Amino acid sequence: MGMNFDTRRAGRWALAVLAVLALPVQAATYLRFADETGTAHFGERLADGRVQPLNGAPWAGGQALGSPRAVDPSQLLAPVTPRSVIAIGYNYPSHTTDRPDPTALGMFAKLPGAITGPGAVIPYPRRAKNLHYEGEVVLVIGAPAFQVPPEEALSKVFGFTAGNDISERDWQAGDLQWLRAKASDGFGPVGPWIVTDLDPASLTVKTFLNGALKQSDAVKNLFFDFATIISEVSETIALEPGDIIFTGTPGTTEPMAPGDEVVVEVSGVGQLRNVVGSP
């Protein structure tokens, strides 16, 4: 698949990621990166901006392996390799202006193969005609969760990241299910990393298309908050550490074109940047 890649955008993305890597650490920040041989590693960002490689996933007790090192933005991978990818639809009032308020949680699934990382090209399938962005806050599960009551649900969260629930609207409207529209390969960029110890009620999400703000809302406005989401999902689906949940997108969305740059920004986490490829 070809791509009209804008090197200036790539440079801006690299500078933005480097700037965040150098910020003072407020909470623990974990990522995945590929070393010079292409081997993937989990790592923890340190106060000086370097990354301490780990011998396993941080939610599985990964310990320091070797010495801290510099990590280039181009080495970043999706910070998770989930077994289950759950997503929630119609969860912001700003996204449901043309329909009644939901009375039950609207769940659907994305496939693990949809998950890609920061800087990854968003594929534009050759049969697609109406590809949209959906910026979201993504929950990363840190402990087994099955039939968890709401009052215990947040204890199962390891941290938070940003996600883009790529959606082909014509397929979404016309197919029997949303599988092709939502779960095609590459339709779930997440990252650039996971941040722990954030206040869920204070989080905001914004989406920019080619630098223009297109979506903006606060998690406090969700119809179903994070605790309710985890509790309801876990009623029938056993969540495992490393699984993720897309929590819903706000506002309206627009079609993307090849070469477009999409940025999803979650407060306290940072910016997830991806460029749309060519059919």
Cis peptide preceding 192, ω within 30 of 0: yes
Please state whether beta strands 135-141 and 115-116 pair in parallel, antiparallel, or not at all (unpaired). Answer: unpaired
Q: Residue 15: its pLDDT value, please? A: 41
* Four-residue CA torsion sign, 218, 209, 264, 128: positive
In contact, 198 and 226? CB cutoff 8 Å: no
Q: Which residues contact 54 (CB under 8 A, 6 or more apart)?
A: 30, 41, 42, 43, 44, 62, 63, 64, 65
Q: Residue 86: its pLDDT value, please? A: 98
Q: Residue 2: its pLDDT value, please? A: 37
Q: Residue 10: its pLDDT value, please? A: 42
CATH fit for domain 80-276, picks 3.40.50.920, 3.50.50.60, 3.90.850.10, 3.30.470.20:
3.90.850.10
CA within 13 Å, CB half, 68: 9
Structural domain spans, the chain: 80-276
Q: Residue 125: its pLDDT value, please? A: 98
| Run means of pLDDT, 10 residues per run, the chain, 279 residues | 39 43 65 97 95 98 97 97 98 89 95 98 98 98 98 98 98 97 98 97 97 98 98 98 98 98 98 97
**What is d(CA 207, CA 273) in angstroms, rounded to the nearest whole number?**
10
Prediction pTM value: 0.90
Strand partners, 225: none
The encoded tokens of residue 173 equal 């409207």
φ, ψ for residue 73 (rounded to 5)?
-55, -30
Q: Residue 26: its pLDDT value, please? A: 58
First to last CA, the chain: 6
